[in-house]
Structure 1
Amino acid sequence: MAIKQELEKKEKRTCLYDKHLQLGATMVTFGGFDMPLLYQMAGIAPEHTAVREHVGLFDVSHMGEVTVKGPDAERYVQHIFTNDIAGAPVGKIYYGMMCYENGGTVDDLLVYKMGENDFFLVINAANIDKDWAWMQQNAEGFDIDLQNRSDFYGQIAVQGPESEHIVETVLGLPCAELVFYTCKTIGDVIISRTGYTGEDGFEIYANHDYIRECWDKLIAAGVQACGLGCRDTLRFEVGLPLYGDELSEDITPIMAGLGMFVKLDKTEFIGKEALAKQKAEGPAKKLVGIELMDKAIPRHGYTVLNMAGEPIGEVTTGYHTLSTDKSVCMALIDAAYAKLDTEVQIQIRKKVFPGKVVKKQFYTKNYKK
């Protein structure tokens, strides 16, 4: 029984799984799902470049979706969410976190205001079960209808400077009027303009059959299919966090430099007291950018040292960037070394390479605002 359960766990697939196999994708396990890492024999670079310069297509159906409706829906979301959605206009999207009482991060997520006391929450694939259990635990005393719709929705993301034209002409979905971080419905389809790449882009949520139809139309129109590999390089270059690397149960939004999404002037939310205390006193560790003075690549988990050779933290994500041709990383280090231009070192296998603290955004975002 245990072996069967483990096999079933490994075989979780999105509605586009067969499409990825048809395109010859290299598949990997991510967040409990079999997902495409890349499609190109030439590696990640062509997919990354397609999004930066033209347009790319991502399967993000592994993400979770939760709906919150009812008389207390806004009050409930305010209770579990660090950002402030009070009085938000319909169609507005907010980024923020759910936190534990100690300030550690349950997950980072998007909250869509779909209507009065009607919210659509988008959560990370690896955290669906944990998030859902946590949301249910904290729903007591609220008059709400809380539904986990993760199995119903498929989702694709069309990203890049040509995305608006492609969504309108190939899919026939009018989207030009959407501004950054807004959404609308077209029948049962939800379309939003957020993106996780630093480029202009759209997300389309719908039932599985409709998502498969959209995928086929976009591929037939010559849009480049893109895997998780370039999704990570793209989000990293513009300093966007990935849960499990830049945010976790042990990494608070304040430590991660995401305090702008923590509205401490709200009446209450879970974790408020701990986060307010941390912000006032200053966190012991901070997430920073580091640029190496070498072509060596800093990877997740590598040790960051001060100039005396003493450990001060570790790398959360690192690459030799495709857009800027630099070896850079994000790292969680002792706050005393977090000031810009502070000299540090990174241990890469048996060698130590010098670097300096820089801004976490290694490439300029190109969102349409």
Structure 2
Amino acid sequence: MAETTLKRTPLYDRHVALGARMMGFGGFEMPVQYTSIIDEHLAVRRAAGLFDVSHMGEIFVRGPRAFDFVQHLITNDAARLYDGRALYTVMCTPEGGVVDDLLVYRFDAETYLLVVNAANIEKDFAWMQANNPMGAHLENRSDEIALLALQGPAAFEIARHFVPDLAPNNPRYYHFRVMEPGTFLDCRWAVLSHTGYTGEPGLEIYCHADEAVRVWDALLEVGQAHGLKPAGLGARDTLRLEAGYCLYGHELDESTNPLEAGLSWVVKFDKGDFIGREALLRVRENGPARRLIGLILEERGIPRAGYPITDEGGTSIGKVTSGTLSPVLQQGIALGYVPNRPDYTEPGRRLGVQIRSQILPARVHKPPFVELHRK
């Protein structure tokens, strides 16, 4: 069987030069860490980290029926968008399973950008093409666009060196700014979005792939005085887990629905029809059979995906979907699915996580697991 060749982002050479440990992720060769996951994680919580997330997919939707297409595709309400506003959502199968979770940006009434997970780019684009009866123009620009995430309490202070009026309230959370050509590090096209996957204040910066190295270098140079460090996918994962954010392929997939995953807030039944609406209405009516919960271990141990979750008597009731040792708490934390019963899902309830032959006590905790700076 032929080996699949991993793609490389425009910043690959920069990662190698910085001594990053590289690995395959979502079809790309990506940096896992530069120094250590804990070091990079704490830099983001205390100062700032810079991530290369250019593996993510960017799909533009254009034309007079662009809104109708997006509204049909996603569970959230695209009518809440206006120029310069973004939202988080999922798109579902007719059975209610999650095809992917994504961000939707509205540039204008006939231009939307959908940002999807790296491993799902081809699948998602094919899904969109197959569910486009309104004939919106779909354009996969993933290979041409780079994405950098500047995250942490010092992120806006660093970015102000290049755009003086940037602040955590300008643009506001889940808002973005399309920069005039040449006004941000001489980029022909750049979007500064107040979004992120860490629970900290920060910006996600979109630019042309051939301009990514210049942006990366400039941010790292200026950010050095503010404690900025390059951060890899390892820290990105531990940060999102402390914040309690879902990861596709772990908490979400086509066998899970957004209501059991705690994402009912992105399902707007009152907006009209969308793919999966009827199935999700049935789930809402009957109540989800299971629920995604957070757990904090009460003894030393590291929960990992696939480990059994047990009741107090040691009977297996579910599985961990994501787990790690929280760098902030220095305790094991996990997300996982259990039956939708109050004695399993209420915060403070005692459960267990089986790590090899030992069952460690854990308590149910509603995420986030740590105090976040992003309000």
Q: Please classify the TM superposition score into its range, dividing by the shorter chain length.
A: over 0.9
- Mark the runs of 5 or more structure 1 residues left unpaired by the alignment: none
Equivalent residue for 2:281, pick from 262, 270, 276: 276
The answer on 1:249 being equivalent to 2:240 is no
Does the alignment pair 1:353 with 2:360? Answer: yes
CA distance in 2, matches of 1:175, 1:149: 27
Is the Cα–Cα contact under 8 Å of residues 238 and 363 in structure 1 kept in the other structure? yes
Matched residue, 1:134: 127
Q: Match for 1:155 among 147, 150, 153?
A: 147
Distance 1:173 1:143 in 2: 41
**1:342 and 2:349 matched:** yes
Quick one: which amino acid aligns to residue 218 of structure 1? Answer: L
1:104-131: CA deviations, max 9, x gaps?
A: 1000000001111210110000111110
TM-score (normalizing by structure 2):
0.93
On the 8 A contact 2:155/2:201 being kept in 1, the answer is: yes
1:219 correspondence with 2:190: no
**Which residue of structure 1 aligns with residue 102 of structure 2?**
109
Tell me the secondary structure at the aligned position of residue 371 of structure 2: coil
Q: SS in structure 2 opposite 1:126?
A: helix
Q: Does 260-269 or 302-311 show the bigger shift?
A: 302-311
Contact 2:171 2:193 in 1 (8 A): yes
Letter of the structure 1 residue corresponding to residue 7 of structure 2: K
1:209 Cα deviation from its structure 2 partner: 2.2
Shift in Å at residue 309 of structure 1? Answer: 2.4
**Structure 1 segment 181-220 matched on structure 2, within 5 A:** 181-186=174-179, 187=181, 188-220=189-221
* Counterpart check, 1:309 vs 2:309: no
* Pair 1:165 & 2:157 matched: yes
Deviations 1:69-109 (CA, angstroms, capped at 9, x unpaired): 11110010000101001152211101010000111100000
Q: Give 5+ residue unaligned stretches, structure 2.
A: 182-188
Aligned-partner Cα distance in 2 for 1:71–1:143: 9
Who is 2:44 aligned against?
Answer: 51
State the match for 2:30 in structure 1.
35
| Alignment match, 1:12 | 7
> Distance between the aligned counterparts of 2:42 and 2:200, measured in 1?
11
How big is each residue's C-alpha offset from its partner over 1:203-245, in whole Å with a ceiling of 9 and x where there is no partner?
1111112211011112223231000010011111011111111
Tell me, in whole angstroms, the C-alpha distance in 2 between the residues paired with 1:87 and 1:301. Answer: 38
Indicate if the aligned counterparts of 1:295 and 1:320 stay in contact, CA closer than 8 A.
Answer: no
TM-score (norm 1): 0.94
Deviation string 1:345-365 (CA, Å, 9 cap, x unpaired) is 111011111112111210122
Instruction: Quickly say closer, same or farther: Cα 1:145–1:54, change in 2 above 3 A.
Output: same
> What is the correspondence of 1:48-87 to structure 2 with a 5 Å cutoff?
48-86=41-79
Task: Count the aligned residue pairs.
Answer: 359
RMSD: 1.3
Letter in 1 for 2:124: D
- Whole-Å separation in 2 of the counterparts to 1:118 and 1:35: 30
Write the distance in 2 (CA, Å) between the matches of 1:364 and 1:295.
21
- CA drift at 1:174: 4.8
Amino acid at match of 1:175: L
Asked if 1:366 corresponds to 2:373, the answer is: yes
Q: Secondary structure at the match of 1:10?
A: coil
The superposition leaves residues 36-61 of structure 1 with CA deviations (integer Å, 9 ceiling, x where unpaired) of: 00000xx2111111111111100000
Residue 292 of structure 2 corresponds to residue 292 of structure 1: no
Larger CA deviation: 121-130 vs 357-366: 357-366
Tell me which amino acid in the other structure corresponds to 1:149: R
CA contact (8 A) 1:58 1:158 kept: yes
Q: Provide, for residues 15-55 of structure 1, a one-character-per-residue CA deviation record: whole Å limited to 9, x for no partner.
A: 10111000000001110100000000xx2111111111111
Amino acid at match of 1:282: G
Which aligned runs of 4 or more in structure 1 are off by greater than 6 angstroms?
none
The one-letter code of the counterpart of 2:205 is I
In 2, are the aligned partners of 1:167 and 1:174 still within 8 Å (CA)?
Answer: no
1:95 and 1:87, CA in 2 relative to 1: closer, same or farther beyond 3 A? Answer: closer
Q: Distance in 2 between matches of 1:279 and 1:168?
A: 45
Percent identical among aligned pairs is 43
Task: Tell me, yes or no, if the aligned pair for 2:81 and 2:87 is still in contact at 8 Å.
Answer: no
- Paired residue type of 2:243: V
User: 2:371 & 2:246 partners in 1: Cα distance?
Assistant: 15
For the residues of structure 2 that align with 1:279 and 1:341, how far apart are their CA atoms? 25
Question: Is 209-218 or 25-34 further displaced after alignment?
Answer: 209-218
One-letter code aligned to 1:264: F
The 1:12–1:174 alpha-carbon spacing in structure 2 relative to 1, beyond 3 Å, is: farther
Q: Secondary structure at the match of 1:312?
A: strand
